[in-house]
């Protein structure tokens, strides 16, 4: 499977309601040293992310403008726009290939102002 298609599938799986409510899926997809700078300005680590998503009110998100940049054979940067009913943000993720498959190592969300 092409890497761009595979990582797009993983990025689409993560914000889905099933993954967000399933700690086993999140433990598989998030690297142990996962770090996120969220669009709200919060810094998240793996454990806090898994705990917070258990009780978060689900909001459907749509990914568009997905692009992949290969950093090395075992690391990739993906960027995209994330849109929900509440906001739009620019997103970037660094994925790392491990013995368990591709895992999310770093993620950042940057709020995008609505066009006037």
Structural domain including 22 reads 3-111
Q: Looking at residue 1, what is its pLDDT?
A: 65
Q: How many domains does the chain have?
A: 1
Q: Looking at residue 39, what is its pLDDT?
A: 83
Q: Is residue 86 part of a domain?
A: yes
Q: For residue 55, give the CATH number of its domain.
A: 3.10.450.50
Q: Looking at residue 114, what is its pLDDT?
A: 56
Q: Looking at residue 109, what is its pLDDT?
A: 93
**Average pLDDT by consecutive 10-residue portion of the chain (116 residues)?**
92 84 91 93 93 82 95 97 89 96 96 66
Instruction: Give me the DSSP letters along 67-114.
Output: EEEEEETTEEEEEEEEE-SS-EEEEEEEEEEETTEEEEEEEEEEE-PP
Q: Looking at residue 116, what is its pLDDT?
A: 43
Q: Is residue 79 part of a domain?
A: yes
Q: Is residue 41 part of a domain?
A: yes
Q: Is residue 116 part of a domain?
A: no
């Amino acid at each position: 499977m092409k890497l761009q298609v595979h990582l797009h599938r993983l990025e689409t799986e993560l914000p889905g309601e099933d993954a967000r409510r399933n700690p086993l899926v999140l433990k598989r997809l998030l690297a142990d040293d996962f770090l996120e700078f969220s669009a709200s300005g919060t810094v998240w680590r793996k454990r806090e992310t898994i705990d917070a998503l258990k009780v978060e009110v689900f909001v459907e998100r749509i990914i568009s403008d997905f692009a992949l940049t290969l950093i090395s054979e075992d690391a990739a940067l993906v960027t995209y726009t994330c849109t929900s009913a509440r906001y739009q943000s620019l997103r970037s993720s660094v994925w790392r290939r491990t013995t368990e498959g591709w895992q999310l190592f770093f993620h950042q969300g940057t709020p995008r102002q609505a066009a006037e």
